[in-house]
Amino acid sequence: MAQVLVVDDSSTVRNEVSEFLKSNGLTVSVAVDGRDGLAKLKSDAAIRLVVSDVNMPNMDGLTMAEKIRGELNNAAVNIIMLTTENSPAMKERGKAAGIKGWIVKPFNGPAVLATFKKLLA
Amino acid sequence: MSIGQRIALLVVLAFLAIATLGGVAWYQFRLNAADVRIVTEGVVPSALASADLVARLKDVQLVTQTLVYAPDENETLQARNRLAAQQERLRESLELQLAGANSQTQQGLAAQAKETLGNYFHAIDETVQLKLAGQQEVAIAALFASVAQYQGELEQIIDTLRVEKNRTKDSAIAALKASMSKTLTIILLVTALAISLLALFGAVLYRQITHPVRDMQQMMSDIAGSQDFSRRVPVRRDDEIGRSIRAFNVMIGKIEESSALLRQKTNDIEAMLLNMPQGVLTVEPDKRVHPEYSAYLATILETEHIAGRNFIELVFAGSNLGADELAQIEAMADSCIGEDQMNFDFNAHLLVDEIQKTMPGGRVKILELNWSPIGDGAGNTARLMLCVRDVTELRKLAAEASEQRQELEMIGQILAVNQDKFHEFIVSAIKFIDESEILIRSHPLPDAGALVELFRNMHTIKGNARTYGLTRLTSIVHAAEQTYEELRKSRPGLVWDQQQLLGELAAVRAAVENYARINEVLLGRKGPGRQGSVERYLLVDKNQIRATLQQLESVNPNSLHELVAARDAVRHTLRLLGTESMEEILGSVIEGLPALAAELNKDAPQLKIRDNGYVLHAQAGGMLRNVFMHLIRNAVDHGIEPAAERLACGKRSAGEIRLDVEVSDEQLRLTLGDDGRGLALVRIREIAVRKGLIAPDARLDDAELAQLIFCPGFSTASKITEVSGRGVGMDAVQEFVQREGGHIRIVFTDQSEGAAFRPFAMQITLPAMLAEQLEGLALAPAMLAGDAPPPAPAVPLPVPGQAVPDRAPQAPIESSSEQGFKA
């Protein structure tokens, strides 16, 4: 049972983000790529927010988002991408997959936390 | 009539038409129904019955023959019974015909038939009686005679009746047909009439409804097309259309109001964008700059090519940001424009708020950037707004202010130290630094003994600096001392690096020399204290320095105005350090005046100095003392007459010498005049001719003549007096002045060209930087009194194209040289 699912193939980012969220009172589950993320989301109905990297092996973040909306038919979970760059094409795809936000690394803790708490409220 | 009523009317009319049509049809069919009944129930059955009559007659005839020819009695009796029945049926049929006769002819025929039927039956009876009587032959004869006769008659009558009946039937059917076709005609006519009437009414009502609607639509289209919202659709009626038009007009009125408001706002925004002294632009989803941006942006970025350009390239080209930082800004823009507003919050920290941008001319500008999202009203960021402020000047001023602050602090520290002791400190510090330098240079490799000595040297300097509170020095010396200490302890990773050590030492030297420079240049305290004159240099009030420092502390680093004011105030305070009033500079000359006058047998003249609030830098003091000593001695010697001569001319016995100090056109002007006899032009000419400076017949005007006194070796005194002739002539005076970048000239104060004596003044002009106005920026008095600093005045927003005033207006100078900085 976790509120937030952090998906990133980099263990550094994964740990940093999840530790930060945990230290601020959120319950966090982690996944190493999009495929893992889908499985975790399927098995834990409590997840209300997915924070995901874009470029990952096996399944990238955008594909995962599309599958969450499509295969899992889960329109309720908030998806936020954590990325280093962005482009109109990615944004287009993201919009279609119902991605709520884009956080450009490095992320700013307080601003991110405030919005996350709002999304989870 | 409203449209609803019109449509209702049309419906009612249609209903009426249909009802009328129905009524007419019903009435007509009622009429036809009677005819049909006559035909179907009367004429046709009756005609059919008349045909039966013939058949029945034949039956009777047949039975009669059967009876007559019957072979036996039995058959005869049977035939007789059958005959009676047949006779009855025939009679009934005829009765029926008689009853159904509907014309005179038919009745007549029926009656005739009935009569003939009686005769026929009577003849049959007689024949039957004959048969029954056994007289068969007679009976047969009778059968062919009377019976056949009556039968023939009856047949004829019935035939005629049948024909008559058929004729009646045919005419009735024909009448019915006629009637039916009349009915059809009437119904068709009524229908045509109804349709025509409905069409007519419909057309009228249609026109009444559609024409105004079309007019309205036309007018509305016109208004919408022309965007001329001052027009109104005329209201000519009070129905639904009229009300629609009224509502439309009200709406147009509201649109007119809001479009006026919009226009006003657009104008306001345009005016703001045109006149605001800030660069404002907005970034569109494709990262291009929106065509509407503030005009001042072009001034800041020094380009007119702004609209539609990629904002990264426009703002950050030539900036101090690296590719990675730019990529982050770009990603940030991509992540938040057109997205939920939270994305701006997530990523706002990636947007830099200050950059250094190298402009095309090579000048570096410091730009302050302020980012904000522009929402689309639905929680998304439609565009990014960027405010660009050129803070180059501000940062420069802040740096200057901080530098001046340091200097002021140092001045305060220096002033707290006795001059001799300070001098000693500087001399000893320089000595230690020199020694240390030799030590470092002579030891390319670490040496424990040298390190001990180096450490001791720095430690001594630091200790002394601390004792005297020279805090700007202590930390720098401490750093060097620490290095030696750590080298001595052989801290790992630290090696004896000659160059580095020399660099460190150079920093210490620079700091010491900076203190020395301030002491000498700003405070004019060169060397050890000199008795008597030294105190004159210590004119700086410590409170003044403290107050100025306070002002620097309280200044808002983001206010150009405050920074300028503070900088100017501090600069002024600094400039006043080491200045003297004219009176102070000429102190020794003034003191010597009575003795000089006495020596020349003249009453001691009065020296009136009007300094207009200007004080002069000490560096010019020596030169001015020399120059004015000579000029004033000349004035007393040559210009001012002996008392008796003066009294004879109506002057006061004691002469008057005036010295005016003024600054104008970036020049310091010192004008010395006296009320003596004036310049002896005739004598000057004689001397010049005698000394071979000019030819005896040279034609020179007064100004050219006066100029001759500056020639080397020229002396106007008829004998070398004790006073003037000390080997320093006007040529030397001129040289003194020129050495300070100035010049000296003679100005006549009258118009009498060619006179033997002409009143004049000596005018010395020098660079204005030698003078300071004593009462410049009025900061000190309030601060000294311990009051809170005056509230900063509202900064007027500069308008593009109009320079920002770089200093506060100065108060008119009224005060005398006595105020402020005198001990």
B350 touches chain A (CB under 8 A): yes
- Asked whether the beta carbons of residue B335 and residue A86 sit closer than 8 angstroms, the reply is yes
**Chain-chain contact of A103 with B335 (C-beta, under 8 angstroms):** yes
Contacts of B259 (CB under 8 A, 6+ apart): B227, B229
Helix (H, G, I), strand (E, B) or coil at B564: helix
Which residues 6+ apart lie within 8 Å of B224 measured at CB? none
How far apart are the C-alpha atoms of B19 and B12, rounded to whole Å? 10
Q: Which residues of A touch B342 (CB under 8 A)?
A: 100-101, 115, 118
Q: According to CATH, where is 1.20.120.30 located in chain B?
A: 3-191
Q: What's the pLDDT at B725?
A: 44
pLDDT given for residue B146 in this prediction: 84
CB contact under 8 A, A100 and B340: yes
Yes or no: is domain B580-784 CATH 3.40.50.620?
no
Q: Which structure tokens are listed for B489?
A: 């302890």
Cβ distance A102 to B345 less than 8 Å, yes or no, reads: no
At B540 the pLDDT is 56
Q: Give the other-Cβ count within 10 Å of B206's Cβ.
A: 13
**Is B379 in the A-facing interface, judged by CB distances under 8 Å?**
no
Hey, what amino acid is at B331?
A
In chain B, CATH 3.30.450.20 sits at 276-390
User: Got the DSSP string for B420-433?
Assistant: HHHHHHHHHHHHHH
Nearest to B572 by CA among B604, B545, B592: B545
Q: What ipTM did this prediction achieve? A: 0.84
For domain B405-538, the CATH architecture is: Up-down Bundle (1.20)
**Residue at B360: amino acid letter:** P
Answer with the residue of higher pLDDT: B780 or A68: A68
**Topology classification of domain B3-191:** Four Helix Bundle (Hemerythrin (Met), subunit A) (1.20.120)
Out of A91, A108, A118, the one facing B334 most closely (by C-beta) is A91
Write down how long chain B is: 823
CATH of region A4-120: 3.40.50.2300
- The answer to whether B346 contacts A112, with C-beta atoms less than 8 Å apart, is yes
Selected residue of B339, B352, B371 to mutate for chain A interface (largest A Cβ count, 10 A)? B339
User: CA of B384 to nearest chain A CA: how many angstroms apart?
Assistant: 16
3-state secondary structure at position A46: coil
**Residues of chain A found within 8 Å of residue B348, distances taken between Cβ atoms:** 108, 111
Cross-chain residue pair B347–A103, CB shorter than 8 Å: yes
Using CB atoms, pick whichever of B285, B330, B346 lies closest to residue A101: B346
Query: Which pLDDT score is estimated for B728?
Result: 61
CA distance B785 to chain A (A): 47
B450: three-class secondary structure by DSSP: helix
Q: Which DSSP state fits B578?
A: T
Subunit contact B346:A111, Cβ cutoff 8 A: yes
How do beta strands B667-674 and B656-664 pair?
A: antiparallel
Nearest to B773 by CA among B622, B609, B575, B624: B575
Spell out the domain ranges in chain A.
4-120
Per-residue model confidence (pLDDT) at position B813: 34
Residue position matching structure tokens 């966090």: A28
Q: Alpha-carbon Rg of chain B, whole angstroms?
A: 71
- List the single residue in B332, B334, B349 with the smallest CB-CB distance to A111: B349
Residue B775 is predicted with a pLDDT of 62
B335 touches chain A (CB under 8 A): yes
Q: How far is B321 from chain A (nearest CA, A)?
A: 17
Distance in angstroms (rounded) separating the CA atoms of residues B577 and B236: 90
The whole-angstrom distance between A85's CA and the closest CA on chain B is 5
Tokens representing B396 are 């420069």
- Write out the two tokens for B371: 């980012």
Reference B389, options B316, B297, B476, B473; nearest CA is: B297
For an interface test with A, the pick among B345, B353, B371, B381 (most A C-beta atoms closer than 10 Å) comes out as B345
CA pair distance B642, B546, nearest whole angstrom: 53
| Residue B487 CB neighbours (<10 A) | 21
Phi-psi label, residue B564: left if phi above 0, alpha if psi -120 to 50, beta otherwise = alpha
Residues B347, A114: C-beta atoms closer than 8 Å: no
CB contact under 8 A, A86 and B334: yes
- DSSP codes of every residue in B79-101: HHHHHHHHHHHHHHHHHHHHHH-
Domain spanning B276-390: CATH 3.30.450.20: yes
Say yes or no: A85 contacts chain B, CB-CB below 8 A. yes
| B291 Cα to chain A: minimum distance (Å) | 21
CB pairs under 8 A between A and B: 62
What does the alpha-carbon distance between residue B691 and residue B703 come to, in Å, rounded to a whole number? Answer: 19
List the alpha helices (DSSP H) in B661-816: 681-690, 702-707, 730-739, 780-784
**Helix ranges, chain A (H):** 11-23, 34-43, 61-69, 88-96, 109-120
Across A43-61, average pLDDT: 88
- On whether any CB of chain B is under 8 Å from the CB of A87, the answer is yes
Long-range pairs for B26-30 at CB < 8 Å and ≥24 separation?
A: B28/B182, B28/B183, B28/B186, B28/B187, B29/B183
Interface residue B343 vs chain A (CB under 8 A): yes
State which residue of chain B sits closest to A102, comparing Cα positions: B335
Please state whether beta strands B667-674 and B760-767 pair in parallel, antiparallel, or not at all (unpaired).
Answer: antiparallel
Cβ–Cβ < 8 Å for B280, B271: no
At B762 the pLDDT is: 93
Which residues in B lie closer than 8 A to residue A111 (C-beta atoms)?
A: 345-346, 348-349
Which of A20, A53, A100, A104 is the best residue to mutate to test the B interface, defined by the most B CB atoms within 10 Å of its own CB? A104
How far apart are the CA of A38 and the nearest CA of chain B, in angstroms?
A: 24
State the pairing for strand pair B679-680/A99-104: unpaired
* Regions in chain B scoring below 70 on pLDDT: 524, 526-544, 577-578, 715-728, 775-823
Q: Do B335 and A102 count as a contact with CB atoms less than 8 A apart?
A: yes
CB contact, 8 Å: A83 with chain B?
yes
What is the structure's pLDDT at B278? Answer: 86
Cα–Cα distance between B691 and B698 in angstroms, integer?
A: 14
Q: Which of A51, A93, A102, A117 to mutate to test the interface with B (most CBs of B within 10 A)?
A: A102
- Taking 3-state DSSP, the helix, strand and coil percentages for chain A, each rounded to the nearest 5, stand at 45, 20, 35
